[in-house]
Amino acid sequence: MRRSSFWVFTFIAFVLLPSVAWAQASITGVVKDASGAVLPGVTVEASSPALIEKVRTAVTDGSGQFRIIDLRPGTYSVTFTLTGFSVVKRDGVELNGSFVAVIDVNLRVGELQETITVTGESPVVDVQNTTAQRALTKEVLDAIPAGRSHLTQAILVPGITTTQGSARGNLVDVGGTQNLQNTLISVHGGRVSDTRVQIDGVRIGNMSGAGQWHNFVPDQGATQEVVIDYGAVNAEEISGGLRINYVPKEGGNTFRGNVFFTLVNQDWQQNNITPELIAAGLAAPNRLRRMYDINPNGGGPIIKDKLWFYASWRSQENKRFIAGRYENLNEGKENLWTYAPDPSRPLLFSLNQDSGNGRLTYQANQKNKFTFFYDQQRRPWDDSTAFNTSESANWWRFPRLRTTQAGWTSPVTSRFLLEAKMSNRGEAFQDAFMDASGANGPVRRDMIGVLEQGGLVPGLWYRGHQNGAFTWKSSRFALCRMRS
């Protein structure tokens, strides 16, 4: 009975539950002859290096209409063929996100081997999709002067705002200095809890809050484009808020790779502090300590036109001094209960993120494609704020921070797409601590914390930890059903 119940549940999960899969781009249109009469039976081929199977094919129906679905981001050539008519080829069709490119053509009676190639701008208006969407292609992501994160990229869309805790001071991002900090995003004054971040259409949030939180940082080097839906999202979503989807690179028939590297420290930062501001009471400006981002990545064929791979590694660091705050000169002294600022040790906020990931794409035949993705990350987070010294701060460590995905797609016809995806998210973190012997971590938890009631910094926690050590774990398993 239990075995039967399991298979019944699995069937329901795949077939009946609402889909959260990500719709890819498509090409549609109507084919007519020179007199304006519709032409059924025209073979339409969309070819692109972005497709592992090289060519996706459809045939016009009785009304002359065609539709080619589930197309990856890239540049396509569309060819129209019918016996007795000239072949028409349309080059340079750019697709991204869930854009629906409408291409209507007229075929004229022609001689054998005659081909008419049409060159011109790609369709720029999607007249079939109501979703308000911005697709940031790889070229745009590399060119815009912003940090390499959805947090700093989505904010460029009008109407989108970000929110962070005020305890950490001024968190305005400049060139990626806040890439790693947990940030809440909303659009047009909506709820931040409605925001969802996805990789290849499957969301990666943990079980904290309403699912909007995650300590996972997507790898920009392994990303083909970032698609931001900010209005009129479809009924597949559980909320009407912002949706940000990372479309991954799959590789290709040639080996390609690149390396991104940036490094900056406090010597590169200028300030605009004047004697007048100092006289008015401004103690110190916000200062950068160090920031770097190293991201080599590459991919290519394992078996040409059959099995592709793409792999990437990324290491980042964001460190900054907290303005006007210093470590406790009496830190670790059990017989002293007062806070004494140590000007030689400015208080430091520190966040690192390392990730390694790989993706396989296998084209079993013309109609069936399988994908597998795995990513493992490391996130040391020393969360000092303007209201606690490091001896009282949370020092988060993540022994588990991984994402595993597997997927299958099958465009059975131009109107029917079968798609199934499974994803497992494992996330666990703990507050590192150190006992009197110096073991187990960087922060002592065996001393009583003090909350300053007056003194130099009212509301400051120091001497010991304010919460005590704890461990939190989350694991999420998602199924995406078949859809048409």
3-state secondary structure the chain: CHHHHHHHHHHHHHHCCCCCCCCCEEEEEEEEECCCCECCCCEEEEECCCCCCCEEEEECCCCCEEEEEEECCEEEEEEEECCCECEEEEEEEEECCCCEEECCEEECECCCCCEEEECCCCCCCCCCCCCEEEEEEHHHHHHCCCCCCHHHHHCCCCCEEEECCHHHCCCCCCCCCCCCCCCEEEECCCCHHHCEEEECCEECCCCCCCCCCCCCCCCHHHEEEEEEEEECCCCCCCCCCCEEEEEECCCCCCCEEEEEEEEEEHHHCCCCCCHHHHHCCCCCCCEEEEEEEEEEEEEEEEECCCEEEEEEEEEEEEEEEEEEEEEECCCCCCCCCCCCEEEEEEEEEEEEEEEEEEEEEEEEECCEEEEEEEEEEECCEEECECCECHHHCEEEEEEEEEEEEEEEEEEEECCEEEEEEEEEEEEEEEECCECCCCCCCCCECCCCCEECCCCCCCCCEECCCCCCCCEEEEEEEEEECCCC
User: What pLDDT shows up at residue 59?
Assistant: 92
User: What pLDDT shows up at residue 15?
Assistant: 42
User: What pLDDT shows up at residue 11?
Assistant: 45
Q: Which of 22, 57, 216, 227 is nearest to 135 (CA)?
A: 227
User: What pLDDT shows up at residue 386?
Assistant: 84
CA distance linking residue 322 with residue 349, whole number of Å: 7
Q: Do 444 and 469 fall into the same domain?
A: yes
pLDDT digits (tens, 9 = 90+) for 46-55: 999 999 989 9
Q: Do 291 and 226 fall into the same domain?
A: yes
pLDDT digits (tens, 9 = 90+) for 112-162: 666 777 776 667 666 667 677 888 888 888 888 777 888 788 888 888 887
Residue with tokens 């369709």: 123
- Beta-bridged to residue 378, according to DSSP, are 354
* Cα dihedral: 130, 136, 139, 145 (round 10): 140
Residue 11 belongs to a domain = no
Q: Do 158 and 45 fall into the same domain?
A: no
Q: Do 23 and 67 fall into the same domain?
A: yes
Count of CB atoms situated within 10 Å of the CB of 139:
9
Instruction: Give the type of residue at 63.
Output: S
The per-residue b/e assignment along 152-170, b for 16 or more CB within 10 angstroms, e otherwise, is bbbbeeeebebebeeebbe
Q: Do 166 and 296 fall into the same domain?
A: yes
Q: Do 114 and 220 fall into the same domain?
A: no
Residues in CB range of 420: below 8 A, 6 or more apart:
14, 407, 408, 479, 480, 481, 482
Q: Do 145 and 114 fall into the same domain?
A: no
Last residue in a domain, options 118, 153, 176 = 118
pLDDT digits (tens, 9 = 90+) for 387-413: 888 888 888 888 888 899 999 998 888
Residue 12 belongs to a domain = no
What parts of the chain have a pLDDT lower than 70? 1-23, 111-114, 120-122, 124-128, 130, 164-176, 232-239, 281-285, 433-445, 467-484
Residue 123 belongs to a domain = no
Tokens encoding 339? 């806070």
Residue 153 belongs to a domain = yes
Last residue in a domain, options 95, 118, 141 = 118
- What is the reported pTM? 0.82
- The number of domains in the chain is 2
Residue 234 belongs to a domain = yes
Q: Do 266 and 240 fall into the same domain?
A: yes
User: What pLDDT shows up at residue 52?
Assistant: 92
User: What pLDDT shows up at residue 175?
Assistant: 63
CATH classification at residue 430: 2.170.130.10
User: What pLDDT shows up at residue 7?
Assistant: 44
CATH classification at residue 26: 2.60.40.1120
Q: Do 113 and 146 fall into the same domain?
A: no
Q: Do 112 and 143 fall into the same domain?
A: no
Last residue in a domain, options 72, 94, 118 = 118
Supply the range of the domain harboring residue 42.
Answer: 18-118
Q: Do 291 and 264 fall into the same domain?
A: yes
Residue 459 belongs to a domain = yes
Residue 112 belongs to a domain = yes
Q: Do 270 and 379 fall into the same domain?
A: yes
* Cα dihedral: 317, 322, 326, 328 (round 10): -70
Residue 441 belongs to a domain = yes
